[in-house]
Amino acid sequence: MAEEKVRDEAMQMMGMFQVLPRLVVFDLDYTLWPFYCECRSKREMPSLYPNAKGILKALQEKGIDMAIASRSPTADIANTFLDKLNIKPMFITKEIFSSWSHKTEHFQRIHARTSVPFTSMLFFDDEDRNIKSVSKMGVTSILVGNGVTLGAFRQGLTEFAQNQNNIEKNKQRWRKFSGKSSSEIDDED
């Protein structure tokens, strides 16, 4: 599917949701591109998964911020590839460093740099251990099989909207229980 067609379909998908994430975070290896960058040379010309660039462009066009959370031990190669693919400026922060924290440290840094609450983030990654640990932080996290696809993107938007609805229902229950107003509960977030 051509990049523009993917972008158009992703834009149409986002238009179907009343609530969208404030920040979408992507892993790199086997999520945006089909390889481990530590196994490649800076001299090579990398490629993205077929739907990746169209989805990135749709998010950019919609005004949704994007970030990277990668445990790659070769940040220099990853940054070179982001430059070669002309997508580096699309990301407001890039946390690319080796870690044993299953990306929780990456997300702490992303939150510190952006002030976006974890519950307002959507994350795509190919490793289940990262999905599980980041989900516990309140981030809507989607496991991808063959990179980020329109199907994974739809799933992410759907799960994000469901999580937001659950948060709102819990706030309403808490208001009834506590006698607090909406603004008092929102101030606690």
Q: Which residues are tagged catalytic?
A: 27, 29
Q: 86: exposed, middle or buried (C-beta count within 10 Å: 0-12, 13-18, 19+)?
A: exposed
> Three-class SS of residue 99?
coil
Ramachandran area for residue 188 (φ above 0: left; ψ -120 to 50: alpha; else beta): alpha
From CA 148, how far away is CA 18, in angstroms rounded? 22
